Amino acid sequence: MALTDAKCAQIILDDYEHTCRLSRSRWAWEFLRRNPEFRRAALSSDQSRISEKPACHGVRLIRPDCDQSEAEKFGLVFFPDIDANGHDANAFWNPAIYARTLTVQVTPRHAGDRDEIFEQTVATCEVIHLTDRVGRESLLIRGNGHVLQVACSGLSLLSMEPVKMKLIIEDVTTLDETLRLISRAQRVLGKADEAEKPEWTRSSLAWRNALIAIDAHEAGLNYFETAAIIYGEQRATEAWQSPSRAMKDEMRRALARGRELRDGGYRDLLAAQT
């Protein structure tokens, strides 16, 4: 069985390599941005009403200037660029559906005090600061290939007076959960280890294959062609010629799972604490 080269050229396995480092909230964005209803709503919104400007230390400030009720229907604070991937998109999730447990408490900074969190963050990461329509502040921090959304409490980071940040872990009841969250923050804020290679987990591979299955289906590819993208043409051919239906059933499950996550199941990813 031969591949349809023209169609398969549209889908390249390497294009999904960035997803290996994504957190659940960024996976949720990858699935949502493939939702046709969401894309229609985003394309009909007035993106000129989103104020964006640079601030000191390379931080960028974002503030919606109009009602964002349409974006809020999908769990977002505003519509980001729908063609930006899970790493690059400035996708801020509404706290009503995002089980956020990392918070930065902003307090007055006295003379002689250092704000080590801020210094480390701006030195190694890209920082996006959001003020939403009700005045809540959040940060989107990109570093070492990872992305972290953090809530802000206490004083405003835009205060005219000097402030400093303290990282708080809230609503966590077990030591394992606490350690996972610390590790997650360290991956973003810590120094990159050039020898470290991202590792796929069982969940991340399943989500990646679900994304590929959706994209392949939309491109008009069949299950065999989808399997060939994921496993290579030789392995897919061997599976299709064998009496086993394992790989064929796997492709069907991948497409079904992808559609489920795209069409609302992405909210389950946001509700998870890990």
User: Model-level pTM greater than 0.85?
Assistant: yes
Q: How confident is the model at residue 2 (pLDDT cuts 50, 70, 90)?
A: very low
pLDDT band at 174 (very low <50, low <70, confident <90, very high): low
In a domain, 61, yes or no: yes
C-alpha to C-alpha distance for 200 and 116, rounded to whole angstroms: 32
pLDDT of residue 193: 56
pLDDT above 60 for 6: no
pLDDT higher than 80, residue 178: no
Per the domain annotation, does 157 fall within a domain? yes
pLDDT tens for each residue of 73-131:
999 999 999 999 999 999 999 988 886 667 888 989 888 888 887 888 888 899 999 99
Contacts of 190 (CB under 8 A, 6+ apart): 144
Query: Which two structure tokens, joined as six digits, stand for 107?
Result: 């307090």
Per-residue confidence (pLDDT) for residue 192, from 0 to 100: 55
Give pLDDT, residue 251: 98
Q: Is the residue at 156 inside a domain?
A: yes
Nearest to 8 by CA among 209, 230, 207: 230
Dist CA 3 CA 235 (whole Å): 13
The predicted model gives 234-257 an average pLDDT of 97
Answer yes or no: is pLDDT of 24 > 70: yes
In this prediction, residues 41-46 reach a mean pLDDT of 90
Question: Does residue 87 fall inside a structural domain?
Answer: yes
Please name which of 218, 227, 221 lies closest in space to residue 246, comparing C-alpha atoms.
Answer: 227
Q: Is residue 15 part of a domain?
A: no
Q: Is pLDDT above 50 for 72?
A: yes
30 within domain boundaries: no
- Between 88 and 161, the more confident residue is 88
- Written as one string, the DSSP assignment of the chain is ----HHHHTT--GGGGGGGGG--HHHHHHHHHTT-HHHHHHHHTS-GGGEEEEE-GGG-EEEEE-S--HHHHTTTBSS---TTS-TTT---PBPTTT----EEEEEEE--TT---HHHHHHHHHSEEEEEE-TTS-EEEEEEETTEEEEEEEEES-TT-SS-EEEEEEE-S--SHHHHHHHHHHHHHHHSPP-TT------HHHHHHHHHHHHHHHHHTT--HHHHHHHHH-HHHHHHHHHSS--HHHHHHHHHHHHHHHIIIIIHHHHHH---
Q: Quick one: tokens of 268? A: 């389950």
Weakest mean pLDDT among 19-28, 189-198, 241-250: 189-198
Provide mean pLDDT across the span 2-23.
Answer: 77
Q: Tell me, what's the pLDDT at 20?
A: 93
**268 occurs within a structural domain:** no
* Domain membership flag for residue 96: yes
Position 195 scores a pLDDT of 45
| pLDDT of 260 over the 80 cut | yes
The tens digit of pLDDT for each residue in 199-230 reads 899 999 999 999 999 999 999 999 999 999 99
Average pLDDT over the chain, rounded to whole? 87
How many other C-beta atoms can be found within 10 angstroms of the C-beta atom of residue 130?
20
Q: How far apart are CA 132 and CA 134, in angstroms?
A: 6
Number of domains present in the structure of the chain = 1
What mean pLDDT is predicted for residues 158-182? 75
CA 273 to mean position of chain CA atoms: 14
Residue span of the structural domain in which 176 resides = 49-189
Report the range out of 36-40, 45-49, 104-108, 143-147 with the highest average pLDDT: 36-40
Question: Which residues face 54 on adjacent strands?
Answer: 60
